[in-house]
Amino acid sequence: MTASSTTTVTPSDVVGQARRRRSFAVISHPDAGKSTLTEALALHARVIAEAGAVHGKAGRQGVVSDWMAMERARGISITSAALQFYYRDAVINLLDTPGHADFSEDTYRVLSAVDSAVMLLDAAKGLEPQTLKLFDVCRHRDIPVLTFVNKWDRPGREALELCDELVERIGLQPMPLTWPVGAAGHFRGVLDLTDGAFVRYQRTAGGATVAPEERIDPARAEAEAGEDWARAREEAELLTASGGQFAPEAFHTATATPVLFGAAVLNFGVRHLLDLLVDLAPQPAPRLDVDGHPRPLDAPFSAFVFKVQTGMDPAHRDQVAFARVCSGVFERGMVVTNASTGRPFATKYAHQVFGQQRSTVDTAYPGDVVGLVNASALRVGDTLHAGRPAVRFPGLPSFAPAHFAVARPADLSRSKQFRKGVDQLASEGVVQILTSDLRGHAAPVFAAVGPMQFEVAAHRLEHEFSAPVRLDRLPYTAVRRLADPAQRPIVDGARRGEVLTRTDGTDLALFEDEMAMRILQRQHPDLALEPLLAEGA
């Protein structure tokens, strides 16, 4: 990762380095413990000395992946975060995603940049609505999923019941690799199904440090854990006998999921998960370009931008574009081409990212995530490449918005800052920005999948651009893409509808309700209205 940019890198070097990479996202319903698990993984990799995931402890800082002021204040993740670190001989690119449904677009973008995902389940709640939506995205993209049943230190459901739910609700065969010894709320350790040993954990103060583990042979486990041990063996054998025997090919083809049990807040079971990711998670593979052709890993450098973020460093307020390397070797200082514009982009400032912390990165390989600083010319979905011929990867679609609000500066003297902030929010995809000749660019319409996106946008405009904003909600609940711009007057002339243009040039026809839209379609049978991408599609 820090080799000199003058070093000659051969194709075999690139492929060899790619094999060391593991790029995955952690997905879950809110409050399932996703950010806590993210930090526990970093703790076990010994890249942080002490976890700060236990909220309410005096003198403790928030989780490393939750760096925004709003995240720390609310105790939830509202933007994705990238963390890169080493474990054993592997380079881990871990992407922590926002669990709240209002930020589904951000999660979708992150899932486009990973090779596998860890699906986190609450032991008491199992598969929750947002978890199901996120899994649907993984299924759509053929992303292999590992399942980590969290919070086994608290009262919860039966382990077999949770595994049955995976089969019944999402059609995914569970393949347990560890099994809990002790019911939920009385967690004594796990049965390691790879060798039959009992792994017993010891608590540490507040779960702030790595939990010591003691491996006990089956005979001693039977004597010391008694009925809990016997039950764990019986349940695990029952599940494996009914089709749950671990099969790597079933995991890689996303038809089955390895299952592990633990308690992230106590750091129980986390090492098993980290080892599994290194040993079994898929390595980077050739990515399909817009023409459906796989881009070889040892082809010249290429990458795609899946996230843009401003405000990570309040002292500089620079813009960072997160790019997943798809092929070749990235060397800091190289001049690449932005396939969207055909213009060159200099990579003088490139960072390896760990939450909000950064360090300069000189080289990166397929599977790595690179933070490109001062990247105001880059937008989400852009492809970067070196040399010829040009390559372009499929762009990232926008979800159908469900909430709309007209945005105006609360202080007209801050109009310039307001416009600059709106442009920034648009480039990051915090909200979709819609405009029209009727409303004018001074009063753009914010469009969002969920209303919390409005809160984030308003907070950032006020605190990062000193441009407090007034948001006036619009009554629209139905949205379609207007396929023929010439038909715009038909919708604009309707009593309960209008057409607004998104920053990507898409014309969106908005209606107060589905009935208003259907009435207009009956009046104009040739009106070309098309559905937009929905969540999970």
Residue 325's beta-bridge partner residues?
Answer: 303
Instruction: Give pairs for 312-320: CB < 8 Å, separation 24+.
Output: 312/67, 312/356, 312/358, 313/356, 313/358, 317/464, 318/373, 318/374, 319/373, 319/374, 319/375, 319/376, 319/424, 319/427, 320/351, 320/353, 320/371, 320/372, 320/373, 320/375
Report, in this order, helix, strand and coil percent for the chain, each rounded to 5.
Answer: 30, 30, 40
**Under 8 Å CB-to-CB from 511, ≥6 apart: which residues?**
476, 477, 478, 479, 480, 494, 496, 497, 517, 520
State the pLDDT at residue 317. Answer: 60
What CA–CA distance (Å, rounded) separates 261 from 372? 37
Q: What angle do CA 59, 63, 68 make, to 5 degrees?
A: 100
Helices and strands in the chain, H and E counts: 13, 31
Report the binding-site residues for GTP: 96-100
- Given this model, what pLDDT does residue 48 score? 60
* Closest to 91 (Cα-Cα) out of 362, 264, 283: 283
Contact 497, 491 (CB under 8 A): yes
CA distance 299 to 87: 27
Closest CA to 142 of 227, 254, 234: 254
pLDDT of residue 105: 72
Token pair recorded at residue 406: 């007209």
Which residues define the annotated binding site?
Answer: 96-100
DSSP state letters, 243-310? IIS--HHHHHTTSEEEEEE-BGGGTBSHHHHHHHHHHHSPPP-PEE-TTS-EE-TTSSPEEEEEEEEE
Q: Domain segments of the chain: what residues?
A: 18-280, 287-385, 403-530
Helix (H) or strand (E) holding 34: helix 34-44
Rg (CA), the chain: 25
- For residue 275, give Cα distances in angstroms to 60, 199, 269: 28, 14, 10
Q: Give the amino acid at 258.
A: P
Question: What pLDDT score was predicted for residue 100?
Answer: 53
The rounded distance, in Å, linking the Cα atoms of 116 and 119 is 10
Report the 10 Å Cβ neighbour count for 234.
11
What's the CA gap between 97 and 99, in Å, rounded?
6
- Give the C-alpha separation, 348 to 333, whole Å: 4
What pLDDT sits at residue 425? 87
- Cα 427 from Cα 537, distance rounded (Å): 22
Q: How many CB atoms lie within 10 A of CB 314?
A: 10
What is the pLDDT, as a whole number, of residue 65?
A: 42
CATH class of 287-385: mainly beta
18-280: CATH topology is Rossmann fold (3.40.50)
The whole-number pLDDT of residue 72 equals: 47
Residue that the structure tokens 């054998």 belong to:
237
pLDDT above 70 as % of the chain = 87
| C-beta atoms surrounding 292 within 10 Å | 7
CATH of segment(s) 403-530 = 3.30.70.3280
List, for the chain, all residue ranges whose pLDDT scores fall below the cut of 70.
1-7, 47-81, 98-104, 311-318, 353-358, 533-537
Instruction: Report the distance separating Cα 239 and Cα 175, nearest Å.
Output: 8
Structure tokens at 268: 């129980």
